[in-house]
A and B are shown apart, each in its own frame.
Chain A
Amino acid sequence: MDMLLQALATLMTFESVITVLVGVSAGLLIGSLPGLTATMALAVLLPFTFSMEALQGLIALGAVYMGSIYGGAFTAILINTPGTPSSIATTFDGYPMARQGRAYEALAGATIASVIGGVVGVTFLLILAPPLARLAVAFGPAEMFWVAMLGLTLVASLSTGSLLKGLLGGCLGMMLSTIGVSPIGGETRFTFGYPPLQGGIELIVALIGLFVIPELLTMAAEGRGALAQEGRFGQGEASIRQIFRRVLGKPVNLIRSCLIGQIIAVIPGAGGNVTSLVAYNEARRFSRDPESFGKGNLEGVVASESSNNVMVAGSMIPLLTLGIPGAPPDAVILGVLMMHGLRPGLDLFTESGVLTNGFILSMGLAALMLLPVGLLGARLIHRIVIKTPYHFLVPCIAMVTILGTFALRNSLLDVGIMLILGSVGYFLRLIGIHPAPIVLGLILGGIAEQGYVQTMLAAVVDPIPWLRLVHNPLSMVLAGLVVLATTTVLLPAWLERRSRPDRKASERGGET
Chain B
Amino acid sequence: MILRLNTDIAAGVFGLAFAAGLWLPRAEMGRLSILFPRAVLVIMTVIAVALIIKGMVRPAGRQVEITGSPRRLLVVMASFFVWWFAIGELGFVVSTFVALLLLTWYLARVHGPVAWSRLLRWVPVIGALVAAFYLTFTEILNVRLPTGLLF
Contacts and interface: CB of A to CB of B under 8 A. Distances in A.
B137 A419 contact: no
Given A190-B22, A216-B76, A403-B137, A164 B103 contact: no
Interface residues of A, number: 65
Contacts of A406: 143, 145-146
A444 to B, nearest CB: 11
B51 A220 contact: no
Given A213-B80, A396-B129, A399-B130, 16 more contacts: A36-B141, A171-B15, A171-B47, A175-B37, A178-B37, A185-B31, A189-B29, A189-B34, A190-B25, A220-B72, A222-B68, A403-B137, A407-B143, A423-B80, A430-B65, A432-B7
Q: Which of B41, B54, B68, B140 has the most CB of A within 10 A?
A: B68
Contact of B146 (A36, A172, A394, A412): A412
A220 B70 CA distance: 10
Contacts of A398: 80, 83, 103
A259 interface: no
B64 A162 contact: no
Contacts of B40: 171, 174-175, 178, 445
Contacts of A445: 36, 40
Interface of A: 36, 40, 44, 161-162, 164-165, 167-168, 171-172, 174-175, 178, 182, 184-187, 189-190, 192, 213, 216-218, 220-224, 389-392, 394-396, 398-400, 402-403, 406-407, 410, 412, 415-416, 419, 423, 426, 428, 430-433, 445, 448-449, 452-453, 456-457, 512
B77 interface: yes
28 contacts: A44-B140, A162-B11, A162-B60, A164-B50, A167-B47, A168-B15, A175-B19, A184-B33, A185-B29, A185-B33, A190-B22, A192-B25, A220-B68, A221-B68, A223-B110, A224-B110, A391-B103, A391-B107, A395-B107, A406-B143, A410-B144, A416-B84, A419-B80, A426-B73, A426-B77, A431-B11, A433-B14, A512-B61
Nearest to A179: B22
Contact of A391 (B29, B104, B133): B104
B50 A431 contact: no
Interface residues of B, number: 70
**Ordered nearest first, which 8 A-B pairs have the shortest CB separation?**
A221-B68, A222-B68, A185-B33, A391-B107, A185-B32, A223-B110, A171-B44, A182-B33
B108 A453 contact: no
Contacts of A213: 80
B67 interface: yes
A413 to B, nearest CB: 9
Q: Which of A391, A398, A412 has the most CB of B within 10 A?
A: A391
A218 B72 CA distance: 10
Interface string B118-138: 000000000001100100010
Contacts of A175: 18-19, 22, 37, 40-41, 44
A179 to B, nearest CB: 9
A217 B96 CA distance: 18
Contacts of A457: 32
Interface in B70-89: 70, 72-73, 76-77, 80-81, 83-84, 87-88
A178 B65 CA distance: 33
B22 A221 contact: no
Given A396-B100, A433-B11, A419 B76 contact: no
B117 interface: no
